Chain A
Amino acid sequence: MTDIPENDVPLARVDWNSPEQSARLKKRYRTEKIFKSLAVLSLATAIAALMVVMVSIFTTGISGFTETRIELDVTLDANVVGDIANMSRPELETHIASINVNNILVRSLQAKFPDVTKRADVFALLRLFSVGAQSDIRKVILDDPTLVGQTVPISLLAGSDVDMLMKGNISREVEQADRKITDQQLAWVDQFNEEGKVEQGINWTFFTSGDSREPELAGIWSATVGSFLTLLVTFLISFPVGVGSAIYLEEFAPKNRFTDLIEININNLAAVPSIIFGLLGLAIFINFIELPRSAPLVGGLTLALMTLPTIIITARAAIKAVPPSIKEAAIGLGASHMQTVFHHVLPLSMPGILTGSIIGMAQALGETAPLLMIGMVAFIVDTPGGILEASTALPVQVYLWADSPERGFLEKTSAAIMVLLAFLIIMNGLAIWLRQKFEKKW
């Protein structure tokens, strides 16, 4: 050591201006540039894929929110309607429900097209209109009984085939045999169209009614209510149980092999395919406890089982993120362990817990497979009035419609997906909002 003279030690070991160094620098810049562009590329791919899905759903689904109506001069024949002059409102309602509106419609159509006389042709003419058209006529009579005996223009709901034709989903170029609409029907529609009697409007039925065999009458209201009731049950069960478990595991449970085992199992459960939870729900809630099939109660319980691991994991992470100094401060002041948890730890972790729960709920809202297993896939028209009544859910409704052969259900499927996506966006937006609003900084 001592025989090396001090002035022989080089001051700088690297010559920063040497060609090797500038080459190294260039190489580093190049690598960074390549990495950056790769990252941008992957992001672009993800966005493009998302856009393709969204655009495809949007372009198919947007027409699901509109309907086609044909205006027709309807003669409200007093002989068919009967004497309703002195009827009270409830009597009127029952009476109107029983009158032969089909007869009125057929006669009005024959009045417009006098040359259509053959039975088959009359049926073909009638098929331009939806069965919902009868309700339209009934509604006009109910709203103003004095119209009976007169001929009034009524906007009648068109059948799904006409609707599809007007939206351009049925091509005129196709051979008649391969087309849902005959040449004759085409001619009638064109005649209505030329007279300016065909119009497009917002399809309120879609938002207010339940499922139907007829695409133009099918709606998402009962599925939405079913989803809401199911999620309500899911939340009421999984939130308290999940948060309670998380608090116990994080704050009170001794750290030993048993709790390690529980933790591993919870993490595992979060990755179990949802259909397994469906089978579990079927076996336990329906076969063993004998709860009613297709009910939001059973669906909610099953989805609660599925959501629990998500809530427990996120709640534990949120609780763990509370700084130990805050806990020490409370304990140092003589707060009991429980007071520390409920006065400080829980309020501080609540934004995180709520965010996790809402994301778990959003997952449950979009879940289909377990609901298929417990019978929520049935064709249900009525809106469920409680958690014990048979119902269906939004994603299951999408599944059911996607399975239907009628062309009209295609746009309904996409429209229902759009509604489902809207709910999901609202829920996730709520999660972000909650997090930003209540997040405390220190």
Chain B
Amino acid sequence: MVNKMNVLNVNEGQTTSVQEPEPKMKAKKVNVYYGNNHALKDIDLNINPNEVTALIGPSGCGKSTFLRCLNRMNDTIESCRVEGTILLDNQNINDKKIDVVQLRARIGMVFQKPNPFPKSIYDNIAYGPRIHGIANNRGDLDEIVHSSLKKAGLWKEVHDRLDASGTSLSGGQQQRLCIARTIAIEPEVILMDEPCSALDPIATAIIEELIEDLKSRYAIVIVTHSMQQAARISQKTAFFHLGKLMEHGDTATIFTNPTHEKTKDYITGRYG
């Protein structure tokens, strides 16, 4: 048991802070239904700023559904019904008064499959700032594109072909382009839905490094199927099982000393 934990290479030093910061997002009693299917049951979870929160669990456990609740992406699914409270800076995002378009600008999302627009690299990144009126002139826009690509670690590779189509890049580059596109509108929280599952190990390593960098500026929530990845990059881990949040807490604690039997089984690979 203990041997296996060592393999997971838990980054313990960063997770043992005593003082918990004020959470960026708080989910309280969140229930989600797809038609008659009760997909998420009474989820309570806090998401801290400047931390990576990993959502883990077997397929179909509801972790992606929960992630999509956080920026109300589930609104686009007709049969989906969300109950409960999700606070962003103490404001309920499920409130009718909240403008969902602005909310999604504040909470960015990176998807499982890289999905750049079939436009130029420049236009991919400039799209968000344009529709939100963040940049008023070409100079500002150039600056945003430049800095976003730099932050996403893509500048060196594409600076001489910003006019090339975003779809002409490799899979890993496309995913970094999507991250650059997301941070171009300066969100407060970034949601990542298995961002590395379609990528090779080298591209995955680059993205993980990038997440490590981005952590200093944003609250990051990442859904992942890779235990190693969760252990490597996250400070908090939440384990979902059959629509329930079984256990959550510091990554180090979850991986070394899980309280729940199911969690233990899952992270050791005996189940799921």
Contacts and interface: CB of A to CB of B under 8 A. Distances in A.
Interface string B143-186: 00000000000000000000000010000000000100110010
Contact of B111 (A254, A329, A441): A329
Interface string A411-442: 00000000000000000000000000000111
Interface residues of A, number: 22
A214 interface: no
Interface in A315-356: 323, 325-336, 339, 343-344, 348
Contacts of B16: none
B131 A331 contact: no
B108 interface: yes
B6 interface: no
A439 to B, nearest CB: 10
A57 B140 CA distance: 64
B73 A334 contact: no
A255 interface: yes
Contacts of A330: 117, 127
With most chain B CB atoms within 10 A of its CB, the pick from A330, A332, A344 is A332
A343 B115 contact: no
B131 A344 contact: no
Chain A at the B interface: mostly helix, strand, loop or mixed?
helix
B104 A331 contact: yes
B204 to A, nearest CB: 20
A335 B101 contact: yes
B76 interface: yes
A326 B181 contact: no
B118 A348 contact: yes
Interface size band for B: 20 to 34
A326 B111 CA distance: 10
Contact of A332 (B71, B116, B131, B132): B71
B101 A329 contact: no
Contact of A442 (B103, B118, B127, B128): B118
B96 to A, nearest CB: 16
A184 B132 CA distance: 89
A347 to B, nearest CB: 9
A364 to B, nearest CB: 32
A333 B104 CA distance: 6
Nearest to A254: B78
Interface of A: 254-255, 323, 325-336, 339, 343-344, 348, 440-442
